[in-house]
Structure formats: C-alpha cells, structure tokens
Amino acid sequence: MSTAQQSLFKPLIISLLAALAMMAVWFTLSAGADDALCWFALVAASDIALLERWLRSRDQRSPAWIAPALTLLCCIASLWLITALNVSYATGFGLHESAGGMGSGLFRALLAMRLQPLDWLLLAASPLLALVLANAGISDRRQSP
C-alpha cells in the first residue's frame, strides 16, 4: 500500500470505528434518558478526533476533513436512530422498520419539534471541535497519548 493510501486508510478506519462506538453509546444513553442528549455530540467529536490524532504514526499527517466528516456522520446517524426509536414507540413498529421507513422529511420535522436552539448549536459545534482537536498543534514532533 502506498504512503498516500496509508495516510488516508488508517485514520479513516480509526475514525470510523470511533464514530460507530460513539453512536452506540449515544443511542444507549438517549434511549435510557428518553432525550436526544445533543451535548453528547461534543463528547463524540472529542473521542473521534483525539483517537485519530493519538494513533497517528510519528511522521504521518492525515487529511483534515476526516474527523469532522465522521463526527457529522456520527451525529446524523445517532439522531436518526434516536428519532426512529421514538417513532417505534409511537407506532408500535420495531426499530428496524421505523429506521428504514422514516424518510428525511419526517426526520427533519421530528428534529425541528424536539430540538431546542442550544441543541442545534451543540450539533453545529461538534465538527468544528473535531477539526480543532484532530489538527491542533500539527508538527513533526510526536503527539503524546
């Protein structure tokens, strides 16, 4: 594998695994609290960005877009599952049917009804936090774990 491919592949896989883990935790906490818990977007952004940053090789630089993009996908997927769980409670369908049958229009409408301005602000800030944390202090020196 070439160096260019490796500098993209490893950070992308690390960030993807971190995003999946954060989705699972976020969904579980939200289901227990019966709330969207949008503050968790900042926790997810921190986890995704710092794991990707700390697991880099000494001389490796990863693309700056990886952590923010996966943070954004984590937020959207988590909110989709949380909203689908609420739809399944309301309709009696299973989570799988609700997640698969819910369209983007219903998703946006339910989020608009449920989320407050602070929630939207936290969600918008999470990719920015991931960008800063993943790329802060980039230099040729080793980042300490």
In angstroms, the CA 145 to CA 134 distance is: 13
Residue 144 lies in a domain: no
**pLDDT tens across the length of the chain (145 residues):** 555 555 678 888 889 999 999 999 999 999 999 899 999 999 999 999 999 888 876 666 778 889 999 999 999 999 999 999 999 999 889 989 999 899 999 999 999 999 999 999 999 999 999 999 988 755 544 545 5
Specify if 64 maps to a domain: yes
pLDDT computed for residue 27 by the predictor:
96
In a domain? residue 22: yes
pLDDT at res. 68: 94
Residue 143 placed within a domain: no
- Number of separate domains in the chain: 1
Collect all residues with Cβ–Cβ distance below 8 Å to 27 and sequence separation of at least 6. Answer: 78, 81, 82, 85
CB contact at 8 A, 51 and 15: yes
Q: Is-above-0.75 flag for pTM?
A: yes
The answer to the question of residue 89 being in a domain is: yes
Q: Is residue 92 part of a domain?
A: yes
Is the residue at 142 inside a domain? no
Contacts for 73 with CB less than 8 Å, ≥ 6 apart: 19
Range of the domain at 67: 3-135
